[in-house]
Structure 1
Amino acid sequence: MSVSKKVSFIEDEHRDEDLRQSALNEVKPSKLQDIHERMMEHAVCRALKTVESEWGSPPAHFAFFVMGSAGRLEQSYYSDQDHGIVYDDSNEFEDYFMRLGGEITSELKAAGYEECDGKVMASTKRWCKSRTEWQKQIDQWVQEDTWETLRYVLTLADARHFMGEANYIIELKERLQHHLKGKPDLLKRLTENTGRVKKGIGFFGQLLTEPKGIHQGKFDLKQTVLFPYVNGLRLLALKENIMATSTLERMKKLPAAYGHIKSHQLSFQELLTHRLSFQRGHKEYAGIHFVDVDRLSSSDKQRLKEWVREGHELYQYIENVLMKG
């Protein structure tokens, strides 16, 4: 299907806000991800149509990919942007694909996806490069071995093909694996970079809320509950050369030797579902990951504490495995 026909097809189905409102009444993660996929596809196709009208058809094969929660298929009701572009080799193509990346960023913002604070978007040169330049950049990130460059490596590990040449994304992942195999200490450095796990339960067994700032008194669901699972399984996926990007699929694809970790699949799936119920009623991205614990039932508070303990224990187990080699 051509870009213009695909855009018309998507526009005929629903407008972005209609899709978002239908999502607000839906608590099944899989259904919500389907809605996000359609909304993002709508935005990307509109961007392509705009650029084609000004600059003509893409001058080379390319791939558009998403990262972050979109890459992992773990978006909440509202989400920010994390994405990139890789295109066939030629310096002549840079202006075209930078223009496309900028238009995609604008269209996604118009659809309700906040721009990434860290500028992890195809509208920046770091995340919009030719295949050869991407390979060089990955090499440079690993060679520099700083907190920032290793953070980029971890971000790229969640890259999921969204449109275009899927094998281009596989090439990037294979480059990461090349370095992991050739540098035994790289995985340890990535584990160190992932950082500490945010404490979620106090001395008296209470859920710890934010002590200050705009979210004072709220509980950080993303950093405290979700990220121990996400960060731990990303590291294991790198170790075991697992190409899957969602945390749940990474668990499923682990070798049988990781039975202790694989046994948490159902619990994590329940966490993704309950996360949406905790977040219902939010109308913007800014506070979507913070929960007012005073409005939670006793059973919800208890379940949150169980996930905090489970996630922290799971991450510590993974960290010990990776740091010991």
Structure 2
Amino acid sequence: MSGAKSYSAFSDSEWDKSLRSLYEERINTIHKQEHTSASLQDQHEQIIKKAVCLALNKTGSEWGEPPAHFAFFLMGSGGRLEQSFWSDQDHGLVYESTNEEDELYFLHLGKEIVHALEKVGYKRCEGNVMASNPKWCCSSEKWKNQLKQWLHEDKWETLRYSLTFIDARAVYGKTELVDQLKQTFFQVVSNNPRMLVRLTENTGRLKKGIGLFNQLLVETKGVHKGKFDFKQIVLFPYVNGLRLLAVQQHILSSSTVHRFEQVTNEHLKQSQKSFEQLLEKRVTWQKEIEHYENIHHLSIENLSKEERKQIKEWVREGHRLYQTIERLLKG
């Protein structure tokens, strides 16, 4: 690729030293600082970009410069700008090339990115939604065909992949490549309105959060027994609803907050303030959590009466919001 930088030798010891240094930077800037939700996202992005640059340097020193323009993108909470203090990896690569041999380069780059992020403190995705997986590391043309295929197959799994992708947000490289893929996605759905109904059905199961006696419902078994699933019960009804509206209204933004700002329905916009408040409160509640596995559950016995009341209000509002959006999209 003309105009690209040249890469000097990058030994294994230098690679390991650089990753250890970046891990320490992560601990100091993310875990040892006071944060708002926005500042936490900024710090995550800075660390992730540095990890990508290290992986690119490592790959470049061994394989040469990238053979085509590309974009590295985050999905999941990273794509939506909703990461907590600990986060797993959800990401992909798209590149401008019709040369099948270039796939080997970018899959290798994806593998190095996964390794770098893991060493820096981002757990590997259990579902393998990462740029080291050929499903999530494709040329622009292959990506477009894959998105069309996922939607037309109309299976629970392929629709789940589609919804995962629509939260993609480019953080390194040629960002237009991701926007072009989203436009392809939007066009396919516009041409077949039933697909929007099917996508809605894919996210329609809302996890109950309040019991018959107005109590918050906690997990009754498993490793999180006795704890409240904040992510599924409180956060996701807002997230899933606004994602569906983004598809319907061709909103390129991946952030739930930005989607709220851009939707055309003024009544639905009224829930934006609550969503922003719950993101801020989550930062306060989760600051002391030391492991990714515990980041999405709350110990409600540590919450005040007012805090529990607030959670119940968010649960009710989020569920009403999602159900309203569901009715709108199903016609």
Query: What is the TM-score with the length of structure 1 in the denominator?
Result: 0.94
In structure 1, the partner of 2:165 is: 156
Does 2:305 correspond to 1:298?
yes
Q: Is the 8 A contact 1:98 1:128 kept in 2?
A: yes
Q: Is the 8 A contact 2:130 2:136 kept in 1?
A: yes
Distance 2:308 2:35 in 1: 19
Q: 1:54 to 1:201 in 2, by over 3 A?
A: same
Does 2:108 correspond to 1:99?
yes
Distance 1:21 1:137 in 2: 40
Q: Is the 8 A contact 2:22 2:51 kept in 1?
A: no
Tell me by how many angstroms 1:22 deviates: 3.5
Q: 1:89-128 alignment to 2 at 5 Å?
A: 89-128=98-137
Q: Is the 8 A contact 2:7 2:64 kept in 1?
A: no
Q: Is the 8 A contact 1:3 1:45 kept in 2?
A: no
2:250 paired residue among 241, 249, 268? 241
Counterpart secondary structure, 1:60: coil
Does 2:278 correspond to 1:271?
yes
1:207 paired residue among 197, 216, 220? 216
In structure 2, the partner of 1:320 is: 327
1:250 paired residue among 248, 259, 264? 259
Tell me by how many angstroms 1:46 deviates: 0.4
Tell me by how many angstroms 1:23 deviates: 2.5
In structure 2, the partner of 1:281 is: 288
Query: What is the TM-score with the length of structure 2 in the denominator?
Result: 0.92
Q: Is the 8 A contact 2:208 2:233 kept in 1?
A: yes
Tell me by how many angstroms 1:313 deviates: 0.8
Distance 1:17 1:265 in 2: 35
| Unpaired runs of at least 5, structure 2 | none
Counterpart secondary structure, 2:221: coil
Q: Is the 8 A contact 1:70 1:82 kept in 2?
A: yes
1:63 paired residue among 59, 71, 82? 71
Percent of aligned pairs with the same amino acid: 49
Q: 1:80 to 1:3 in 2, by over 3 A?
A: farther
Counterpart secondary structure, 1:91: coil
Aligned residues: 317
Q: Is the 8 A contact 2:6 2:65 kept in 1?
A: no
Q: Is the 8 A contact 2:206 2:319 kept in 1?
A: yes
Tell me by how many angstroms 1:164 deviates: 1.1
Tell me by how many angstroms 1:15 deviates: 3.6
In structure 2, the partner of 1:217 is: 226
1:147 paired residue among 148, 153, 156? 156
Distance 1:35 1:184 in 2: 39
Distance 2:24 2:292 in 1: 14
In structure 1, the partner of 2:48 is: 40
Distance 1:179 1:228 in 2: 25
In structure 1, the partner of 2:23 is: 16
Distance 1:113 1:209 in 2: 27
Counterpart secondary structure, 2:117: helix
Q: Is the 8 A contact 1:85 1:101 kept in 2?
A: yes
Q: 1:4 to 1:270 in 2, by over 3 A?
A: farther
Counterpart secondary structure, 1:217: coil
Q: 1:320 to 1:49 in 2, by over 3 A?
A: same
Distance 1:280 1:31 in 2: 13
Q: Is the 8 A contact 1:3 1:48 kept in 2?
A: no
| Aligned CA-pair RMSD | 1.8
